[in-house]
Amino acid sequence: MLENDGLFTQMSDLEIIEIIKNGDDTPFDVIFKRYHALSVKITKDFYLKSFESDDFLQEARIVFHKTIHSFDSEKGHTFGNFYKLNLKHHIFSLVRKDMAKKRMIEKNAESLEEMLESKQSMQYILQGKDQLPTIEILQVRERLADYQATLSEFEQRVFLDFIHNNEAEEISVNLNCDILQVKNALDRCKRKLKQLLD
């Protein structure tokens, strides 16, 4: 293997690319090392919440491998420029997907807060009967599960009555408690929800 590595290091990019295209990935690491600095330079300016530098490098390796197999030297561009273009395009695509996911989560969070503020009943969402797409229903349910875990037992009971469109007076009767306790619990529920959404 080391002898092969020594042999590959003396080869040109085009020679190694031809070997890999013919089904032998042995020299892949040799040629990828030549473009390691470029990979780092391109990816270091991007941020994705769940990505670390090693994750970006792994994405770079995947793009590099695909670039080798799609590279055509007769089209007039160098392999390095072709790889650079492909990697940038791939990272931009990852960033766009991440931003779209973030916007969807923020939209669902805002919807959840609006429902609580307007006292719109949430049982339709919880039961999957709302007109929201399935993915949004699942995200709202996940948010609700996180939210309810922050509530005390009394706050949960008040919240449950509240989302079933009961007024504070009705809730106090249902729970056999003072109306002021209910109003205070509702204030805490709203405050905790805003903290979760922020």
Instruction: State whether residue 177 is helix, strand or coil.
Output: coil
Backbone angles phi, psi at 43, to 5 degrees: -85, -20
Return the number of other C-beta atoms located less than 10 Å from residue 41's C-beta: 10
The pLDDT of residue 10 is 85
Topology (CATH) of 122-197: Arc Repressor Mutant, subunit A (1.10.10)
pTM across the whole model: 0.49
Predicted confidence (pLDDT) per residue in 134-172, tens digit: 555 555 556 666 777 788 888 888 888 887 778 888 888
Residue 120 has pLDDT above 50, yes or no: no
Q: Are 148 and 158 in contact (CB under 8 A)?
A: no
Q: How far apart, in whole angstroms, are the C-alpha atoms of residue 118 and residue 150?
A: 21
Q: How far apart, in whole angstroms, are the C-alpha atoms of residue 158 and residue 152?
A: 10
Q: How far apart, in whole angstroms, are the C-alpha atoms of residue 28 and residue 30?
A: 5
The pLDDT of residue 68 is 93
What residue ranges do the domains of the chain occupy? Answer: 2-99, 122-197
The pLDDT of residue 123 is 46
Predicted confidence (pLDDT) per residue in 123-144, tens digit: 444 444 445 455 555 555 566 6
Predicted confidence (pLDDT) per residue in 23-48, tens digit: 998 999 999 999 999 888 887 776 66
Using a pLDDT cut of 70, give the percent of the chain over it. 67
